[in-house]
Structure 1
Amino acid sequence: MKDQSVMVMEEGVAPLIREFYQQQEERVHSYRLLEEGHKIYLSTGPNYDFPTFRQLVHDVTQDFKRVSEGIITLEKRMRTDGHVAPANLVAKLQDAEKRKLELTVHLQLSRQMAAENEGGELEEAKVREVRGELGKVVENINDHLADLRYHLHTGE
């Protein structure tokens, strides 16, 4: 038999946070598909296989949209159930993930420009700049995930 604090946590925010983590794993998987697909796309240059990459981007975009909608629903449920702090973290994570996706697209475009202008210092500098911004956003996401993990373990 579970003790009462564990039972309260199971009925509280913990299941919602676990569901969030499942959704987040799906989003991570989509990022991996996008990254691998972009590497393959770049390897087809200079006559890029754009139709194949465009289809991948379409499919991944649909996955991102589905996951995002699911997470927004979870955030609303958290708020409705009175779990404001975790809901606020989820909202911050969503904002950070949106920025991460924007930067990922910028990085992919920058990588393509760098590949097309081999040895171009300006293009390489842009890749480094975007990669640095992306690293900061990922660090921010990881911090929010750690804070959310705290709520999972405390049930608050």
Structure 2
Amino acid sequence: MVPSDFKTLIQRFYHLQSERVETYRLFEEGHEAYLRTGPHYDFDHYKQLVHEITQAFNGISKEVLEIKEKLHLDLDRPDLCEHMDKLQSKEKEKLELTAKLQLAKQCAQDHPEDEEVEERIQEIKHKIIKNKEALSEIMQDFKYDSEDCD
């Protein structure tokens, strides 16, 4: 059940964002553990991790969308909803980039002679940095606009 007063909604939104950060950390740690099982990878264990991470992200996204709906319908804050839309889009992009990076890291481990893989890893890492900068900027805008009402 999503709370309906403004301050509680905003606090819940920030909590969900920190849950996202923690979920990424667990995902990265799990992938590193998976890579250590190579060359005969423990894919079943990794597949379970991906399933759990996906469920966590879906739950977070669902609740963020519920908060967005309350901000839009009940509290008439289209400005904050717009930030949340941008954020959701960038979070989706970050997850896609993270998955690409994980595949590239496994490829690099399996084919250490392939120099192009290392270039691809650096390229993806650079895109992730840009993505995180954009996320940070969106969160700053959200914080600024949400404090407007305190």
Identical amino acids, percent of aligned pairs: 36
TM-score by length of structure 1 reads 0.89
Letter in 2 for 1:26: E
Question: Shift in Å at residue 38 of structure 1?
Answer: 0.2
Which 4+ residue blocks in structure 1 deviate beyond 4 angstroms? none
Q: Which amino acid aligns with 1:40?
A: A
Structure 1 residue 63, shift from structure 2 partner: 0.4
Query: What does residue 85 of structure 1 align with?
Result: 79
* 2:114 counterpart of 1:114: no
Does 2:26 align with 1:33? yes
Q: 1:42-53 residue pairs with structure 2 within 5 A?
A: 42-53=35-46
Superposition CA RMSD, Å = 1.4
Any stretches of 5+ residues in structure 1 without a counterpart?
1-10
> Which of structures 1 and 2 has the larger relative contact order (alpha carbons within 8 angstroms, sep 6+)?
1
Bigger Cα Rg: 1
Segments of structure 2 that go 5 or more residues without pairing to the other structure are: none
Structure 1 counterpart of 2:149, one-letter code = G
Which residue identity lines up with residue 140 of structure 1 in the other structure? A
- 1:29-55 Cα offsets, whole Å, 9 max, x none, are 111110000000001110011111110
TM-score by length of 2: 0.92
AA paired with 2:53? Answer: V
Deviation by residue 1:1-60 (Cα, 9 ceiling, x = unmatched): xxxxxxxxxx86332221111111111111111000000000111001111111011011
Within a 5 Å distance, the mapping from 1:106-145 to structure 2 comes to 106-145=100-139
Q: Aligned partner of 2:135: which letter?
A: I
